Amino acid sequence: MAKEPVRVLVTGAAGQIGYALVPMIARGIMLGADQPVILHMLDIPPAAEALNGVKMELIDAAFPLLKGVVATTDAVEGCTGVNVAVMVGGFPRKEGMERKDVMTKNVSIYKSQATALEKHAAPNCKVLVVANPANTNALILKEFAPSIPEKNITCLTRLDHNRALGQISERLSVPVSDVKNVIIWGNHSSSQYPDVNHAKVQASAGEKPVRELVKNDEYLNGEFITTVQQRGAAIIKARKLSSALSAASSACDHIRDWVLGTPEGTFVSMGVYSDGSYDVPAGLIYSFPVTCRNGEWSIVQGLPIDEMSRKKMDLTAEELKEEKDLAYSCLS
């Protein structure tokens, strides 16, 4: 029996990330090679013509799994019946703008999109927020979509996680598929903490800790962390545009692991609603190591945290508390 199609919403679908993401979804990279999809693409009215062009290309690509395309500038039409929502659309920070200005714009965008999802999405819709400030946008969305379970609202730190895997793979000259269990703690910003203390590499004699193989704590506690934290800025400098291909690919990884499960013995990083684990203040959307089974994520418990890690985890939590306060001040 063929599976029923899953409706996947991508907001900001005519933008750079959206343009990279929709063919990946249509090809089965997000939900599996046997899962038909109906794509819902939502964007703002000035992008309507470009959005229609993307729809034409999706039709022209003749993806066997793609069972329909909704391209719209109407949030209600875009959100109706969706099972998975990938929120890529947001207001980017422009030169000369204060953080509060950007936050005010994003608060109003996420408030209205949350309202549309709340009223029109399928029950148990899974939401992934990609647009920055991703953690805080997800928190606002949660606030205004109270019927969507808090476990179903997440933000993307898988891009940072994948960047960390990539750096270790390059450093050790091993395939990236042999590296696992790096952790991104905290905010999807330059305050995040990329942690290799629990990371392992598959070697011929079995799994070895990353620290043991790299044999350079100065690098792992310094340059490695700043490289991952500032990778987005480095790509903007090189491309003159922000990360699109890698962001789209990571969004697929995030949803695929969430829906289909993480491999045994492997954890990944997801921005999720904190329950107080690892002494992270409850009520923030914070990136933790998680495993996924049967469409549910769980925070990996009981990992030992050293003093340096504790400081860095607290620092990024502090930034998230400030962002949360700023966002709530924009609401009033």
Give dist(CA 294, CA 151) in Å, integer. Answer: 13
Please tell me whether 202 is known to bind a ligand.
no
Q: From edge to edge, which strands make up the β-sheet containing 126-129? A: 66-72, 37-42, 6-11, 84-87, 126-129, 153-155, 268-273, 285-293, 296-299
Q: Is 253 helix (H, G, I), strand (E, B) or coil?
A: helix
Please tell me whether 230 is known to bind a ligand.
no
Q: Is 34 helix (H, G, I), strand (E, B) or coil?
A: coil
- Pick from 274, 300, 308: nearest CA to 197: 308
Please tell me whether 282 is known to bind a ligand.
no
Q: Which residues contact 2 (CB under 8 A, 6 or more apart)?
A: 36
| Chain-centre distance for alpha carbon 320 | 16
What type of residue sits at position 239?
A: R
Third-level CATH fold of 6-155: Rossmann fold (3.40.50)
- Pick from 91, 99, 86: nearest CA to 130: 86
Please tell me whether 138 is known to bind a ligand.
no
Please tell me whether 158 is known to bind a ligand.
no
pLDDT at residue number 101: 87
The pTM assigned to this predicted structure is 0.97
Spans of the chain, pLDDT less than 70: none
- Segments making up each domain of the chain, as ranges: 6-155, 157-327
Q: Which residues contact 93 (CB under 8 A, 6 or more apart)?
A: 99, 102, 132
CATH number for the region 157-327 comes to: 3.90.110.10
Please tell me whether 113 is known to bind a ligand.
no
* Active site amino acids: 188
pLDDT at residue number 98: 82
Query: What value does the mean pLDDT of the chain take?
Result: 96
Q: Which H or E run includes 320?
A: helix 307-331
The percent of residues above 70 in pLDDT, for the chain, comes to: 100
Q: Which H or E run includes 173?
A: none
pLDDT at residue number 210: 98
Please tell me whether 43 is known to bind a ligand.
yes
Give dist(CA 74, CA 71) in Å, integer. Answer: 9
